[in-house]
Structure 1
């Protein structure tokens, strides 16, 4: 394996934005030590654009505020937020942390005296580097060498690092996937021994880390490591049920790896759509009948939709995201045979999905096909279904598209606003979905009378 070619000091100096240079220079002028630190240094060396710029210093929070007036400081970690030219910078004093009794947060945060103390508390060597305004690198744990070797290695004792904050288990695997690195042997061994510690981490933090993994270009590598370490069993046990479960003649991968490949090949960077692709066949194991090429998975879409909802509810996803994924999983098996499926059936699918989710539905369907390992191109039937769905969008598929509205119903029947008005409009829509030619004012008013009389 060839070592990575890292950026030079000259290249890095040119890449540091002016507001960051200003903050480093200002602290230095006031006789404080100041360094950019952590992920931004790693990204600069890898010739990537950092998303965040963190600065560490030997100044106390009060001293930082004296150097930079009108700043924000209201946290237990001593971080002062400095704004310069519409850019927010987080400046934090050197820190030294003690025990992590809850395996999530340090029991106490004390300000350290040296840069090395601050770097020693960090998770992995590639995140434990600092750089001053001149581009001089401070790297006491040889993170630069690990970058060249393309490896993730814990700072100090890996077992202690994972015990301090079990979210580091997921972070380790995410970095390995995002950077296409391997995990150093001792770090990997400790990670595998600590997988059950992930239950000490809040569901919200696990969710956020999963979304970062799902946003990666090579999410397959991360999920492969989640599987190999068995960390997957602890955070997405429903998904790991598919490990080693063969499918049928339409697939070459097991249920688990079909789901993972579907997420990898999802033609969208939206992590929620990738999650839908990841979970689309999660119900197969619980519905499998038979073995070999002719195995069937009757109602796995319905079972999977319930499972997807349960998974996302457990991980504290917003209701809007839960409903999107649940719908895509539920209807991903909509069967379309050219010349056999009626306009009525396609219209009803469109109603269930919602016109605004049509494109996303197709993205998940395409991901499913590409993840099968049998057929990479978008098949003819899917193209025809897309054409058919676009065509029926012109038809009335919503009560708002009917030729009469709630006010017409209330005026005709002499009834006040209420559930009865909605019931009648929905009944009319059902008839119009069967035959759009019925969407005339005359027909709908007549049917309104009949529907009301039938109940009265």
Structure 2
């Protein structure tokens, strides 16, 4: 039996008590039926925004589409699903019908509707057009059947749905990816026919949907669906062009073309971080631009592809409006993914590598390397990579700068009985050199003892 959380019941009960119809609707009901964790709740009602605002003191209305936001505090509704400090915002929208979509994103006209069925008919997918009031399910488009059959299907005519809102092209693929569902053939065909409409969607919305695909359970499959639909060529043409670029040649271990290798690398990347997954998807994005093949030997080369790839990845991130911080992380991982795994490298060499990549990105670039290996047809790891990772672990215990020493200038001034000045820096530099050459451990007591010795 389906049970709404107390916070959702509170919304519906309050509206019903005052003579209005009210239903939970959309992805929250879909996830409830699938026994998945729900993220926020959406409701639809025949109450107007003015009625909703009057009934819920902690509500606000700042749009033209009939959607009122209601702030929900756990303590006010005794909802165990929310912590005491949680303030969530639930959206309650008046029944409506829409017409005219000249920009392929927003309706030209919104009219308040009178029935639930009229409201559900404007929704994107059958599995999102299911309503529930805590007692009965309203499902005019057989969304429950599609849930059981693991199908994502447009409500009514799919071409009409996608022309109304071009974001639905990408959103449909994202939802199918998140759920591990198949897109119904007629719906998928409509996506293929209208991929050019995605140009009407803002970069921010495209990035948001892409990152939700990246953080899903099946990101590689999602990118393949983007490829097969034709949407990939519109939103990530650099990646689309990587398919068909060969890598297999005498002496090379690759079994896939560049595009397929990138998909398989993403599939096997152990990181759950969507930015790391996206960097893994882009790590060889520079290869098509630097592809060369010797006509006599058939040998293929991709010289400096990581440098070229860094520039391409940066341009992609700029185009999709990634934050500076996220862009820097993605670009760093792409630039330095081609690091040499050699267990005999000196500590100084390893420290330089860690400085380039950043300690905060170290595990991420190793996860990228694992995806890269398996995506090339190799084993998940090797004795050399395991030993290299162990060496990196050991080197991280050593200081990287004077500031990492377990003593500081105050200790020097106290032991030497001197005032601030350049001598302090010279003494700390001497200690630092002795630590990184492993003559001294970076531990406070041995360092203090050494200071007294060189006084």
Instruction: Provide TM-score, normalisation by structure 2.
Output: 0.84
Q: Which residue of 2 aligns with 1:279?
A: 282
Q: How does 1:357-396 map to 2 (within 5 A)?
A: 357-375=361-379, 377-396=380-399
Q: Which residue of 2 aligns with 1:110?
A: 111
Q: Which residue of 1 aligns with 2:26?
A: 38
Q: How does 1:334-413 map to 2 (within 5 A)?
A: 334-339=339-344, 341-375=345-379, 377-398=380-401, 400-401=403-404, 411-412=421-422
Residue in structure 2 matching 1:22, options 10, 15, 31: 10
Q: Which residue of 2 aligns with 1:444?
A: none
Q: Which residue of 1 aligns with 2:291?
A: 288
Cα displacement (A) at 1:432? 9.3
> Aligned partners of 2:218, 2:242: CA distance in 1, in Å?
21
Cα displacement (A) at 1:371? 1.8
Tell me whether 1:175 sits opposite 2:175 in the alignment.
yes
Residue in structure 2 matching 1:55, options 22, 39, 43: 43
CA contact (8 A) 1:195 1:234 kept: yes
* Deviation sequence 1:378-419 (CA, Å, 0-9, x none): 2222212211212222334235347888x99x9439xxxxxx
Cα displacement (A) at 1:158? 1.2
> Aligned partners of 2:258, 2:209: CA distance in 1, in Å?
23
> Aligned partners of 2:323, 2:341: CA distance in 1, in Å?
31
> Aligned partners of 1:164, 1:437: CA distance in 2, in Å?
70
Q: How does 1:45-84 map to 2 (within 5 A)?
A: 45-84=33-72
CA contact (8 A) 2:246 2:256 kept: yes
Kindly tell me: are residues 233 and 436 of structure 1, through their superposed partners in 2, closer, same or farther at Cα, counting changes over 3 Å? farther
Q: Which residue of 2 aligns with 1:184?
A: 184
CA contact (8 A) 1:242 1:256 kept: yes
* Deviation sequence 1:135-164 (CA, Å, 0-9, x none): x12122222222223222111221111111
Count of matched residue pairs: 417
Which secondary structure state, in structure 2, belongs to the residue aligned with residue 358 of structure 1?
A: helix
Once the two structures are overlaid, the 10-residue window that deviates more, 40-49 or 233-242, is: 40-49
Cα displacement (A) at 1:80? 1.9
* Deviation sequence 1:51-93 (CA, Å, 0-9, x none): 1211110000111122223322222222222234434321111
Runs of 4+ displaced beyond 3 Å: 291-294, 401-405, 410-413, 427-441
Q: Which residue of 1 aligns with 2:306?
A: 301
Cα displacement (A) at 1:293? 8.2
> Aligned partners of 2:216, 2:431: CA distance in 1, in Å?
43
Q: How does 1:74-153 map to 2 (within 5 A)?
A: 74-86=62-74, 87-134=88-135, 136-153=136-153
Unaligned runs of 5+ in 1: 1-9, 414-420, 442-456
Kindly tell me: are residues 294 and 36 of structure 1, through their superposed partners in 2, closer, same or farther at Cα, counting changes over 3 Å? same
Tell me whether 1:237 sits opposite 2:237 in the alignment.
yes
Unaligned runs of 5+ in 2: 75-87, 414-419, 449-455
Q: Which residue of 2 aligns with 1:6?
A: none
> Aligned partners of 1:428, 1:124: CA distance in 2, in Å?
68
Cα displacement (A) at 1:366? 1.5
* Deviation sequence 1:247-277 (CA, Å, 0-9, x none): 1332222211211121222212110110111
Which secondary structure state, in structure 2, belongs to the residue aligned with residue 171 of structure 1?
A: helix
Tell me whether 1:163 sits opposite 2:163 in the alignment.
yes
> Aligned partners of 2:58, 2:266: CA distance in 1, in Å?
45
> Aligned partners of 1:330, 1:175: CA distance in 2, in Å?
31
> Aligned partners of 1:399, 1:169: CA distance in 2, in Å?
54
Which secondary structure state, in structure 2, belongs to the residue aligned with residue 382 of structure 1?
A: helix
Instruction: Provide TM-score, normalisation by structure 1.
Output: 0.84
Cα displacement (A) at 1:435? 5.8
> Aligned partners of 2:145, 2:69: CA distance in 1, in Å?
32
CA contact (8 A) 1:58 1:113 kept: yes
Across the aligned residues of Structure 1 and Structure 2, the Cα RMSD in angstroms comes to: 3.0
Which secondary structure state, in structure 1, belongs to the residue aligned with residue 301 of structure 2?
A: coil
Q: Which residue of 2 aligns with 1:332?
A: 337
Q: How does 1:221-260 map to 2 (within 5 A)?
A: 221-248=221-248, 249-260=252-263
Kindly tell me: are residues 301 and 428 of structure 1, through their superposed partners in 2, closer, same or farther at Cα, counting changes over 3 Å? farther
